[in-house]
Amino acid sequence: MTGLTDLDKRWLTEAVRLREEHTGPLDDQEANRRARQQGGDLAQRIETRALWLAERDGLRQALEHYRRGARLALLALLVLAVVSGSGLAFAALGDGQRPVNVFWALGSLLGLNLLLLLGWAGGFFLAGDQGASLGRLWLWLSEKLARDAKAAHLAPALLVLLQRQRLTRWLLGALVHGLWLLALCSALVLMLMLLSTRRYGFVWETTLLQPDTFVSLTQALGAVPSLLGFATPDVAMIRASGDSLPALDPSRQAWAGWLLGVLVVYGILPRLVLAALCQWRWRQGRARLAPDLKLPGYSSLREALMPSSERLGINDAAPSSCRRSALTRTMSAMRAR
């Protein structure tokens, strides 16, 4: 059974179990014989049996179709992420004909990202493996794009397999944070292009709040980016931007650097860290995946795959010396009578 990863083998084993659970036991005499001949412990024999049945019944080919559908679904989500990131950049900066309200731009860039990040965190700690709607969308698209009736048990089998080690949250989390990371990086690249080729002015406006509020907020948000080398407007520049559209290039450059720095520090870096964490936990847990031998679908196979006694029969004819000895003893007994 070449060309299959360890995850694929565990996945097919679980899919065969679910199929037998829903449709009844399969004709598995040959599969059981091959599993006994292959040897190993019960888990290895169960896997050998399941892989042979998957190959015979076309389930392995359905797995290839499902994986192809998963790649197409992922490609569609990647394109969506790039387009969405570009839309965020255009929404934040506009066409350059009007001054950019820095806090409206900041809200356009990070507002939705922050809300969904908080939603993911809440789902992670409260709903466990049931969070990450974007990841669920990927699984749903993968199944639809597979277009194979035999793949019906593959998606449930994958979820059941991963939930045993609580890996669903890490796999879908890596996908979600990776897509958001791509979207924000796309926004960053397009913003760099727009800021390099167009002249933007930056302002902030308020009716209810005091100007000092915006001064303090701007300096607080720019504190960490400034440590990484991003420019931050000083107090005079901040106050001038609240009074009128500043025409000085240093002011424009300072606000542009502040906006880029805030995007990197509060948007890209958290998603990068979370994506790396989820990927690391996923790789760690994937090595521990194994069939749960306590399940009825597996425990009932113990006697068939590891019988307590086995009829061996006659394998080889007796050697000629044994036959002659037996004949000699028989003739001696007859003469003795």
Q: Residue type for 317, please?
A: A
Predicted pLDDT at 140: 79
Structure pTM? Answer: 0.82
Predicted pLDDT at 1: 47
Predicted pLDDT at 246: 54
Q: Find out whether 168 and 162 touch, Cβ atoms under 8 Å.
A: yes
Predicted pLDDT at 218: 87
- Which pair of structure tokens corresponds to residue 280? 């690391």
Predicted pLDDT at 52: 93
Q: What pLDDT, in 10s, does the model give residues 124-135?
A: 777 555 445 677
CA distance between the termini of the chain: 65
Alpha-carbon span 110 to 136, nearest angstrom: 23
Alpha-carbon span 328 to 295, nearest angstrom: 59
Alpha-carbon span 306 to 64, nearest angstrom: 31
Which helix or strand (DSSP H or E) is residue 12 part of?
helix 6-23
Predicted pLDDT at 325: 57
User: What's 244's DSSP letter?
Assistant: S
Predicted pLDDT at 45: 92
Q: Vertex 272, ends 283 and 253: CA angle to 5°?
A: 165
Per-residue pLDDT of the chain (337 residues; tens, 9 = 90+): 457 888 899 999 999 999 888 888 888 889 889 989 888 888 899 999 999 999 998 888 889 888 888 899 999 999 999 999 999 999 998 877 788 888 899 999 999 899 988 888 887 777 555 445 677 788 778 877 777 677 778 888 888 888 888 888 888 889 999 999 999 999 999 999 999 888 888 888 777 778 788 888 888 999 999 998 888 888 888 787 766 555 567 788 888 999 999 999 999 999 999 999 999 999 998 888 888 888 888 888 888 888 865 555 555 555 555 555 554 565 555 555 5
Q: What pLDDT, in 10s, does the model give residues 219-264?
A: 899 999 999 888 888 888 878 776 655 556 778 888 899 999 999 9
How is the chain split into domains, by residue range?
6-299
Q: Closest by alpha carbon to 105, among 243, 241, 273?
A: 241
Q: Find out whether 264 and 222 touch, Cβ atoms under 8 Å.
A: no
Predicted pLDDT at 275: 95
Helices of type H across 210-301: 211-227, 235-243, 249-263, 269-286, 296-299
Predicted pLDDT at 189: 96
Alpha-carbon span 30 to 32, nearest angstrom: 5
